[in-house]
Amino acid sequence: MTQTFFVEHIETPTGRMRIVSDDAHNLRALDWDDHEPRMQDLLRRHYGANAVQLRQASHPSAAARALLAYFDGDLDAIAKLPTATNGTAFQHTVWSALRTIPNGRTVSYGALAAQIGRPKAVRAVGLANGANPISIVIPCHRVIGADASLTGYGGGLHRKRWLLAHERGERPLFDEPRQGATP
């Protein structure tokens, strides 16, 4: 069965974003336009090939308004946004735990694994984190390496760096990676 989701775009300090919601106003996917192939891949993985049809939204959603408020400094604007996505029970456990990390704070993959009661599942937590289709709202950018280093982020490390600084109340500058450079 094909599901219809609605797509809209917003301009942010970190680039143009694509927001995907369903008709019940649940956020289904969120990523930057320059990472659309990643979003399409995650939608296929979570729902199946050709199982999602995207239509242009007719008016701004609550998710779009909340994300714009977040980028404008109201960090709590996205806290209560309803989300829905397919995934395994383990992925949903990790994604729920991610939403409990306070703004501006970070945790390691190991600490997150321990928090969900699976201290040996550090790699699986990393994989679930990477399979998160709803960036920022399910704040996978708040997970760092055991040595406190910034580790991979689907939107690029330059965005992860910006988001963390923004959440700490700093006035971050957004530096896009140079062409051919690794973000």
Q: Is the dihedral of CA 91, 131, 113, 118 positive or negative?
A: positive
Half-sphere exposure of 70 (CA within 13 A, CB side): 25
Contact 86, 44 (CB under 8 A): no
Could you tell me the CA-to-CA distances from 94 to 21, 63, 90, 99, 114 in Å, in that order? Answer: 21, 21, 6, 9, 11
CA gap 5, 78 in Å, rounded:
20
CA gap 159, 164 in Å, rounded:
9
The yes-or-no answer on residue 71 being catalytic is no
CA gap 56, 41 in Å, rounded:
19
Q: Which of 67, 112, 125, 140 is catalytic?
A: 140
What tokens were used for 122? 């550090």
Catalytic residues: 140
